[in-house]
Amino acid sequence: MNRRPLAVTIIACLYILTGVVGLAFHFTDFTKPPRLEYDIAWVELIRLLAIVSGVFMLRGSNWARWLAVAWIAYHVVLSAFHSWPQVAVHSLLCAAFAYFLFRPEATRYFRPPS
């Protein structure tokens, strides 16, 4: 198995951390008076996807890096409904993550062993 690039490790850990913190933060929404519970459930699912993506990137699963890029691209689209600074930050993160996750070293890491 190829050695995991440092950039992949950092990005995967960021996804795990973001997912865990977001999951804990939004979990308290379930205890508040009835709000659209489906909305809260979708937010929690998105946070879980971040954790799954991060864990499986650390394990070298190719699909996980695609999920990671799709996850941040979803946030670029979602931030378009908020403010331009959010769009800018999410776009920069998306570009940086895609750059580092699809570099030749990362591609070798995510390639299945022959």
End-to-end CA distance of the chain: 9
Q: pLDDT digits over 68-91, tens only?
A: 999 999 999 999 898 899 999 999
- For residue 36, the model assigns a pLDDT of 59
Q: Which residues fall within 8 angstroms of residue 70, CB to CB, at 6 or more apart?
A: none
Convert 59-75 to b/e letters by CB count within 10 Å (16 or more is b). ebbeebbebbbebbeeb
Whole-prediction pTM = 0.87
* Segments making up each domain of the chain, as ranges: 6-110
